[in-house]
Amino acid sequence: MPTVTVRDLTRSTRIARLSILLAVTSCLAVPLAADSIQFTVARIGQTAAGDPLFEFNYSLSGFVFQNNAAVVDELDIEFDPKIFAGISNGTAGSGFDVELFQPNNPPQAPGDYSALATLNHPSLTGPFTVDFTLINPSQFSSINLGQTYFINAFNNSDPSNPTFGSQIETGVTQPLSSGVPEPSSLTLCVACFLVGAVWAARHRLRPTPSRHEA
């Protein structure tokens, strides 16, 4: 019968350690969840002039907005003046104050959806929405509606008149994914570790024939 030698056990131990190391390395290779803004778009009616009226609904994740004695943070989403004709009816969740700036006012200037934090660490549950019209509504299905956004920090030494301090972050909004959501980094980490542990256990328990076996 096959025999298990000390060298075999040592080799199995090395394999087990290597398997766990590979599992941990795979886990670390999975990117952590980052700040993001996703959106959905729906046609909600038409304007008094008969133009199609659409609505952005934004989903925010990962952000920590501040409003304290030193700083107040703002979310600023830009509206390309070559695409958007106008914006209206901006809303935000409790803890934010919304102000809208129209595209092409002045000419060629982007529009802005500005949500200023009125509380420290406000909830991101929303809703964060804004209605809009397009310069060419017939091209709606072919337009990339991703928007540049900025997280800005304002000096709050005078709360009645905050002044711009710095730009903390910038990015581009992304369409909200449909179907099964991507697994989180923690889920993938646990899966990698379990696969590595099972593989190591199977090899640890499998005897290796001795080279001295007749």
In the structure, what pLDDT confidence band is assigned to residue 21 with cuts at 50, 70 and 90?
very low
Q: Which phi and psi angles does 187 have, rounded to 5°?
A: -60, -45
Q: In what order do the strands lie in the sheet with 71-79?
A: 96-101, 111-117, 71-79, 148-155, 163-172
**Residue extents of the structural domains in the chain:** 6-31+184-205, 36-175
| Residue in this structure with the two tokens 């304007």, named with its chain if needed | 47
The residue-averaged pLDDT of 50-61 equals 97
Fold of 36-175: Immunoglobulin-like (2.60.40)
Kindly state the percentage of the chain with pLDDT values over 90: 60
* Angstrom distance (rounded) from CA 7 to CA 206: 14
Tell me the pLDDT tens digit for each residue of 74-119.
Answer: 999 999 999 999 999 999 999 999 999 999 999 999 999 999 999 9
Tell me the pLDDT tens digit for each residue of 114-136.
Answer: 999 999 999 999 999 999 999 99
